[in-house]
Amino acid sequence: MSNIEVIVVGAGVVGLSSALELQAKGMSVRVIDKVGPAGGASAGNAGAFAFSEILPLASPKTIMQSPKWLFDPLGPLSIPPSYAPKIAPWMLRFLGASRPAQVKKSTHAQAEMMRHAKKTLEPFLLRAGLTHMLRNEGQLQVYEGEKQFQATLPGYASLEAENVPFTHLKGDSIADYQPGLSPRFTHATFTPAYATIDDPKLYTITLAEKFVANGGELLIGEVKSLTSDGVHTSLGDFKGRVVLAAGAYSHHLARTAGVKIPLETERGYNTTLPNNAFNLKQHLTFGGHGFVISKLRSGLRVGGSVELGGLNLPPNFARAQAMLNKAKEFLPGLKTEGGIQWMGFRPSLPDSLPAIGVLPSNDNVICAFGHGHLGLTQSTATAALVADIVTATKPAIDIKPFSPSRFASWL
């Protein structure tokens, strides 16, 4: 293809969504990825469009719970001891982002992003011919006892302030939404603003197929550095406007342009069980234990938790097994045989907001990374904002809270 206008670095769900959105705006687009479509977190996520998840991980609540969690190597939040010194500067920024005033700002920005994500999703799927892959079944979050439930109410007040709908449940009414739960779960909340894709890996691969069918060019190769007018890769040099959507590896490429962005890796674990493992009615969240169970075409996926361990440490699949053991305890009828374990890297910034906007040192590069565990959820919104920036159109929402320069420093 000649006259390539935009180069998208990364063939995950954010990169490919951006590529398709740019094509829809009449752009010629080339996507470059070192392993190909859905090679990273897009392959093994929970498949959720979690539009109601507007509360940042960085918060006073997390700070209060962290000491208890961090002493449990298999708990909802952990840092391998060997990685602790390296992540210390990121944790200091995380602590700063947990101040109440900043949490309020981050929550509002996330709510705006989620509204844009919900607004853009179905039109995007319609253009791509993929509406049949969307399931609007909602989410049920369950709690063990009155005390745990009461502790969540300030968060729900924040959701209510942003007009996010939810319904609190108690006792026998919970079984109307999800039969088979352990009686230890006495309270629950149903959030209808939750949808799932029937298989995240297949969805991402299908986006790649649509992109190529539309005339896009998809190359397998390693992008080694950003240049003033494009990228330097293992395949040669390419010129064009660059969209940096390389997930957990994006900050390494930003450094080649002289900018340090404090992106860390939430290592997520899961086990995908056969479809007949349990009759799951909708996405099920065990917030007090940091994991979910989602219903996908490929099976039931039990996963979640946050292990802040970078890109190079070996996987600790005992974390996946610990979640599966708890899932069996919480759903006594769950069949846990025949599961497939997985670990992937979620790119996370200290304030739980993505980086969307022009790279400070190089206005030829547009950042689209750092979504944490919300990459699929915010993929179409990010794509629409990237297209707005490329076409010099006023974005539909204020993108200042997502500016890559908010944490960036010069090397």
Q: What is the phi-psi region of residue 127: left when phi exceeds 0, alpha when psi lies from -120 to 50, beta otherwise?
A: alpha
So what's the pLDDT on residue 76?
Answer: 82
% of the chain surpassing 70 pLDDT? 98
So what's the pLDDT on residue 410?
Answer: 57
Q: Specify burial of residue 86 (Cβ count, 10 A radius: 0-12, 13-18, 19+).
A: middle
**What residues pair up with 7 in beta bridges, in sequence order?**
30, 242
Q: Is the predicted pLDDT of residue 263 greater than 80, yes or no?
A: yes
Average pLDDT in the 184-204 region? 95
Confidence band (pLDDT; 50, 70, 90) for 87?
very high
So what's the pLDDT on residue 2?
Answer: 44
Average pLDDT in the 246-266 region? 95
Q: Is the predicted pLDDT of residue 69 greater than 80, yes or no?
A: no
% of the chain surpassing 90 pLDDT? 87
| Angle value at C-alpha 98, between 97 and 103, nearest 5 degrees | 85
Assigned token pair, 122: 């179905």
| Angle value at C-alpha 74, between 46 and 38, nearest 5 degrees | 30
Average pLDDT for the chain: 94
Q: Model confidence over 289-298: pLDDT tens digits?
A: 989 999 999 8
- Name 289's Cβ contacts closer than 8 Å, sequence gap at least 6: 76, 323, 326
Angle between helices 13-24 and 100-128 (to 10 degrees): 60
Q: Is the predicted pLDDT of residue 72 greater than 80, yes or no?
A: no
Q: Where are the alpha helices (DSSP H) in 34-144?
A: 41-44, 60-70, 84-97, 100-128
